[in-house]
Structure 1
């Protein structure tokens, strides 16, 4: 998906907008159908929005969700925890790591067998979305969104 929309590929400007819009639609559909976790969709939406910012001249007629404000606003809605709950979950995880014995960790040099489905915690999803916010946050115009970004990024180091 990202390769066909790369700014270094020669294509007509209207085709760029179409490809980027298609990428956004695919992400929205995958999240809506449950094919990917919402946080993964948010990560990729921010990645595509950041890619759109790299074009010179700028891509016109992009959907709102691919603008810096639109992509971040949508991504923030995909965060599964409040800031307070994310900090609390992080403290629980830190305590589990500090009190873990050898059975907690995978054996070094040995085989690892995963039983059942691998689950991702809500905290991991928060961290995934926060890792992508800096790609577009400097381009945000809405002061409320900017304030919300700042609030999340301020706790990122505590997670």
Structure 2
């Protein structure tokens, strides 16, 4: 089913029913790429540059929150990927002048940041530990650690344990600055600052 056709039909469905509608019509085991295409289409539809009817834009933001949340809750995309896209949507919402009222709480800077940080795959202490392990692995690596140019090779997954989680942390930290300056809660600000303070270690 084409992405645009799906979104066209979703726009006619009450928000509480969207998740069930999507689950009933998923194209088999929808890949992360399929979900990303849906996210990208929604991102385009809510861009302020389009000058669309605010009611339609607000509706598409609501759909975006529902779809990203669904993709994460079903395991279709990783929590960090979902957090990244929620932060992207929240960052776009901040670009509306005057502000677009009536948006889901998850798209406020505080809501999006809290939701994203709660989906970090590692604690800050674990990040520091894994980062040191990754650097040590790179420094100790022999020629067989790197992909040979122009030849087939197999990935040594044992040597890279923990690295995907670090990449997830890096993904979320790359998006937090888009909304951090607009966060109002002192507690959320403190949490963001604590995470950003270790960003240079990655």
Report the TM-score when normalising by structure 2.
0.73
For the aligned residue pairs, the C-alpha RMSD in angstroms reads 1.8
Give the equivalent residue in structure 2 for 1:14.
55
CA distance change for structure 1 residues 114 and 81 in 2, over 3 Å: closer, same or farther?
closer
RCO (CA 8 Å, sep 6+): is it higher in 1 or 2?
Answer: 1
Give the equivalent residue in structure 2 for 1:147.
190
SS in 1 for 2:201: coil
- Cα offset for 1:14? 1.6
Give the equivalent residue in structure 2 for 1:84.
125
Q: Distance in 1 between matches of 2:97 and 2:85?
A: 21
Instruction: Tell me which of 138, 148, 169 is aligned to 1:107.
Output: 148
Which runs of 5 or more residues in structure 2 are unaligned? 1-41
More divergent stretch after superposition (44-53 vs 122-131): 122-131
Instruction: Tell me which of 62, 66, 79 is aligned to 1:25.
Output: 66
Q: How many residue pairs end up in the alignment?
A: 157
Give the equivalent residue in structure 2 for 1:39.
80
- Cα offset for 1:107? 1.6
Which runs of 5 or more residues in structure 1 are unaligned? none
- Cα offset for 1:110? 3.5
Give the equivalent residue in structure 2 for 1:135.
178
Query: Deviation string for 1:39-81 (max 9, x for gaps)?
Result: 0000000001001111112111000000000000000000011
Query: Deviation string for 1:74-111 (max 9, x for gaps)?
Result: 00000011111100000000011111111111122344
Report the TM-score when normalising by structure 1.
0.93
- Cα offset for 1:113? 5.9
- Cα offset for 1:112? 5.2
SS in 1 for 2:69: helix
SS in 2 for 1:47: helix
